[in-house]
Amino acid sequence: MCIMKTQGDGVADVSKIGEINPKHFENVFPVLTNDVVITDERIAHIKAHHPKDYERYAEYIPQILKNPDYILKANRPHSAVLLKEFKKSDERFQLILRLRTSQDPDEFSNSVITFSRLHAKEYRRFVRNKKVLYKSE
């Protein structure tokens, strides 16, 4: 996992956690940067709301970002739900990503909002009930 810590004055610690593939987003959102970051505050949120998921599965995040199986419409603007299934290990995940927009400051990057493991039934329900913006070949 690629993690690079940066720190600003009064700003939460930010870690680069991976990159997205712009091709997956070309019909969804304009991609202004490939870099994806996660803040310490978001890591704390994931640990609080999805116990042990971050500790056990954070190593999957770069793969989910680079090669999602699905990109779904999220409930918030400029955000997307990335779904990934790892058949070999029978694991499924969702990652909610906030994409940088042209209105954001230049120093902003795409950022992880939350991340969690899903049961097979939840994964299928997401695909069935949410608007699919991208599906892997």
pLDDT tens digits along 12-57? 699 999 999 999 998 888 889 999 999 999 999 999 999 999 999 9
In one letter, which amino acid is 78? H
Contact 72, 129 (CB under 8 A): no
Helix (H) or strand (E) holding 63: helix 61-66
Domains of the chain: which residue ranges? 4-135
DSSP 78: T
**pLDDT > 50? residue 2:** no
Pick the closest to residue 47 from 93, 120, 115, 122 (CA basis): 115
* Confidence band, pLDDT 50/70/90 cuts, at residue 107: confident
- Whether 9 shows a pLDDT value over 80: the answer reads no
Arithmetic mean of pLDDT over the chain: 90
